[in-house]
Amino acid sequence: MLFREQCRDPSRASGVGIGGTVVGHLGDGSPFEATVVAVYERGLGFGDLAMAVDAVRAHTTTGLDSFALVTVDEGASDEVRAALGARGLLVSDRSGQEAAGAATQSQNGWTGLIALLVILGYIAIAVVNTLVMATGERSRELALLQLIGSSRGQVRSMMRIEALLVAVIAMVFGVVVALPPLIGMSMGISGQPLPVLPVLGSLAIIAGMGALALVAMWIGTTATMRTRPIDEIGSRQ
């Protein structure tokens, strides 16, 4: 028994409909022959094909197609285990789940997180370098403002407001640029125009990038204003 995802691209369609037979090999090289019993439009994370668990489980490394972690109230463990088992689900305790591959999946999750942190680190370096260099090139402008009567505090206040405007504009444009591909992915996967995003995680990333812009502008302004205005205004650029 096999469920096949409906393919809208004719160049990728297999041409096998309901009642048709699919012949191939499983992950461990074992041959299989399955009959298509249903066709679905969107994978929703299941992939192009979905097969009966009994036909695939023996050919996998862990013996599990997927799993869910469940917390049960004290005293209801036996009742929940019996109810899940009656529905054909394999139930095991925490130690059995770890032995079945949960540790490996946790390691994969940490690997993905480290990769994301590395990418964000490169972005942070690029942001800091760009803003610090752009601020440093305005050294004569800042010196002139001080020579015509502005105090150092007023210059710093101006730069803080400017940094805040830059951060807000950058965050708005970043969200606007990211929305079209996210909407396209959401339409392709779930058929819904609005993507489901982790709100706290997204806000944390946006706030972190905004704070990074403010810090970078502060560093650049502080370094630029170390030179006396009278000496800086006469320097060559």
**pLDDT tens across 85-97, in order?**
887 777 777 665 5
Compute CA distances 107 → 69, 101, 104, 111, 205, whole Å: 17, 10, 5, 6, 23
- Concatenated DSSP letters of 21-90: EEEEE-TTS-EEEEEEEEEES--TTS-SEEE-HHHHGGGSSSS-S--------TT-HHHHHHHHHHTT--
- Measured distance CA(36)–CA(16) in Å, rounded: 8
Q: Which amino acid is at 138?
A: R
Percent of the chain having pLDDT more than 70?
A: 78
Of 23, 57, 91, the residue at which a domain comes to its end is 91
- Which pair of structure tokens corresponds to residue 58? 């023996």
In-domain check, residue 96: no
82 with 122, same domain? Answer: no
State which of 91, 111, 127 marks the end of a domain. 91
Residue 16 burial class via C-beta count within 10 angstroms: exposed 0-12, middle 13-18, buried 19 and up: middle
CA distance linking residue 180 with residue 176, whole number of Å: 8
In a domain, 97, yes or no: no
The sign of the dihedral angle between the CA atoms of 120, 121, 126, 129 is positive
Q: How big is the chain, counted in residues?
A: 237
Number of structural domains found in the chain: 2
Same domain assignment for residues 82 and 195 = no
The answer as to whether 31 is a domain residue is yes
Q: What is the pLDDT of residue 26?
A: 78
As a whole number of angstroms, the distance between CA 198 and CA 52 comes to: 32
Instruction: Judge contact between 39 and 74, C-beta under 8 A.
Output: no
Cα 143 to Cα 233: distance, rounded to the nearest angstrom: 6
pLDDT tens sequence across 140-159: 888 888 888 888 888 888 88
pLDDT at 11 over 80: no
Q: Same domain, yes or no, for 106 and 180?
A: yes
- 33 and 143 share one domain: no
The residue type of 129 is N
Name the residue range of residue 114's domain: 102-233
* Distances, alpha carbon 159 to alpha carbons 118, 129, 133, in Å: 29, 17, 14
The chain-wide mean pLDDT, for the chain, equals 75
Q: Domain check: are 10 and 49 in the same one?
A: yes
Helix or strand run (H / E) with residue 190: none
Q: Which of 46-60, 61-75, 86-100, 135-149 is the least confident region?
A: 86-100
Q: Distance between CA atoms of 81 and 91, rounded to whole angstroms?
A: 6
Asked whether residue 179 falls in the same domain as residue 203, the answer is yes
What is the maximum alpha-carbon separation in the chain? 86
